[in-house]
Amino acid sequence: MKNKTIYKLTVTDIQQVAKETYGRRLTKNEIEKVIEPIGDRISWYDVIDEAIDYSLGLRKPTK
């Protein structure tokens, strides 16, 4: 379970958002341009922290 993928985004996901929001599919070049910014904008640490707190209600140690 150590290397299990928890969540992934695919080009199909990107194309779905483009179609629903902008009314068209993106070109291969456009897809390449948005891939890195997507990863840069996802706050993985905060999402994981919030999921742990929401699901388990663990108390954070005081510093």
Q: What is the pLDDT of residues 5-63, one digit of tens each?
A: 998 999 999 999 999 999 999 999 999 999 999 989 999 999 999 999 999 989 888 87
Per-residue pLDDT at 37: 96
Per-residue pLDDT at 62: 85
Q: Which residue has the tokens 């990107």?
A: 14
Whether 43 is covered by a domain: the verdict is: yes
Domain count of the fold of the chain:
1
Dist. CA 45–CA 57, nearest whole Å: 16
Whether 31 is covered by a domain: the verdict is: yes
Whether 41 is covered by a domain: the verdict is: yes
Contact predicate 14/26, CB 8 Å: yes
Dist. CA 16–CA 28, nearest whole Å: 14
Alpha helices in the chain (DSSP H): 11-22, 28-41, 44-56
Per-residue pLDDT at 50: 92
Whether 63 is covered by a domain: the verdict is: no
Per-residue pLDDT at 61: 87
Whether 6 is covered by a domain: the verdict is: no
Domain that holds residue 19: 11-56
Whether 29 is covered by a domain: the verdict is: yes
Question: What is the reported pTM?
Answer: 0.74
